[in-house]
Structure 1
Amino acid sequence: MKLQRPLAILFDLDGTLVDSVGDIADAANEMLAQIGLPSCPDEDIRHYVGNGVRLLVDRAIMRNISGGASDEQINAAMEIFKGIYSLGCVARTTLMPHACETLRSLAAEGVILSVVTNKPENPTRQILDHFKLSSIIASIIGGDTLAVRKPDPAVVRESFLRAGLDQSSHAWFVGDSHTDVLTAKSAGMPSIIVRGGYNHGEPVEELDPPPDAIVDHLGEVLTMYNAARTI
């Protein structure tokens, strides 16, 4: 599909721009150890990423507690996890293939770049700072920036507002999961899904609703931009 060239591109973070499972798993397992539960393999944690800290912590705990945990237990575990993760969110995290050059090339073309993620805003900023990408990102919306998170279209509207964009500006949403497709559709924009991310362990080819495009790596997003039609 040949898309209209966008003024802006919104990117998910985990599984799209960075592979952060190692650090998330380390923090989750330290949290589990502190509350007396066994550790969870990295691959299981990979399937828990994408819907915010609460669901990640809830899933990590539920695999060890029959019947699940109370809200009070989940809230306490969340605070433990967030405290640990904030101190170690860049130890094992790496950029996804072609992430840096794609972002820098798009920025050089004048594309307004934003990050919209369900990861809390503070570690999101730490990661972008660590990889020296913050200077080219016009707005950052984390899972705790607003009272709602993806796939609510309010996160896209707020991203536009903070980036100085008109709400009618044409944009693409690039992510790796069902949540990202739903976010794009709720905001009325095309979605591009990158293979090799998380998507809760499900093949992106089976996404329903389907994205507008599926690419093998982020470098193909730059190719699509260069090939996109202009109005």
Structure 2
Amino acid sequence: MSDLAAGMLSPPRAVIFDWDNTLVDSWGCILAAMNATLRAMGQEEWSLEDAKGRVARSLRDSFPELFGERWQQARDVFYAAFEAIHIEHLAPLPGIEAMLRDLAGQGVLLAVVSNKNGAYLRQEAEHLGWNGLFHRLVGAADADADKPAPAPVGLALAGSGIAPGPDVWFCGDAEVDMHCARNTGCIPVLLRAHGPESGEFDRHPPCCHIDGGASLADLIRALS
């Protein structure tokens, strides 16, 4: 992260995180469930690169485009395949748990806004022992609309006394996260090992790139 970007930031009162591939490594599980769905629907399977380029929006927003009138059948296949494997595939990204506990210890309110089904999201957080770290975990279909709409951010902060805005950082790995941050006036933070690729965030640029959990915790401590 540049010194200029760091100089423009203020310490957050709250940090909202994306879940998949921001806090946990989910690509293997997502790809396996997606390819089971594509096979069942008579379509060609995706490569990992295909999945990384095409998976961002929630199922209820993306499946009607992919499968047309049969999208609900595809949904049922996907959820059955995903439910069978998602816990065994679950793996926190390096340094993430320590970062979450560090930020909670600093008094920063933590929440999650994900386009993963809300029930699966909360099962995974419970399995990892992370439920107590978050004010709320909001997944797909929990709010009236999913990311990048503002509704799930409002739900994630409800009851906290903190409103969406510049006191809130939204950390994620994908364009949809930066879009959601911009839609709600939050600070968009790209949190992943590699930086932005050319043209990736032209429409909704992040305020800064942070390469991992330890760097995020260190930055917030330094700003406080």
| Common topology (TM > 0.5) | yes
Residue number among 115, 134, 138 corresponding to 1:137 in the alignment = 134
In 2, the alpha carbon distance for the partners of 1:160 and 1:13 equals 16
Which runs of 5 or more structure 2 residues have no equivalent in the other structure? 1-5
- Per the TM alignment, residue 224 of structure 1 is displaced from its structure 2 partner at its CA by 1.3
1:82-135 deviation line (CA, Å, top 9, x unaligned): 122123212223212211110011111111110001111011112212221111
- Whether 2:132 is the aligned partner of 1:126: answer no
Question: SS of the counterpart of 1:173?
Answer: strand
Q: Is the 8 A contact 2:14 2:109 kept in 1?
A: yes
Question: SS of the counterpart of 1:70?
Answer: helix
Residue number among 158, 165, 190 corresponding to 2:161 in the alignment = 165
Which runs of 5 or more structure 1 residues have no equivalent in the other structure? 63-68
- Whether 2:223 is the aligned partner of 1:228: answer yes
TM-score by length of 2: 0.86
In 1, the alpha carbon distance for the partners of 2:86 and 2:128 equals 12
Say if 1:28 and 1:204 are closer, same or farther in 2 by CA, change over 3 A.
Answer: same
1:161-211 deviation line (CA, Å, top 9, x unaligned): 05x2332672111111111111111111211102347x9xx7277412321
**Sequence identity (%):** 27
Name the structure, 1 or 2, with higher relative contact order (CA <8 Å, separation 6+): 1
Question: SS of the counterpart of 1:87?
Answer: helix
State the aligned residue count. Answer: 216
CA RMSD of aligned residues (A): 2.4
Q: Which residue of the partner structure matches residue 39 of structure 1? A: 45
Question: SS of the counterpart of 1:214?
Answer: strand
Q: Which residue of the partner structure matches residue 3 of structure 2? A: none
Question: SS of the counterpart of 2:116?
Answer: coil
Q: Is the 8 A contact 2:193 2:210 kept in 1?
A: no
Q: Is the 8 A contact 1:192 1:212 kept in 2?
A: yes
In 1, the alpha carbon distance for the partners of 2:12 and 2:198 equals 23
Structure 1: which amino acid aligns with 2:68?
A: S
TM-score by length of 1: 0.84
Structure 2: which amino acid aligns with 1:82?
A: Y
In 2, the alpha carbon distance for the partners of 1:193 and 1:111 equals 18
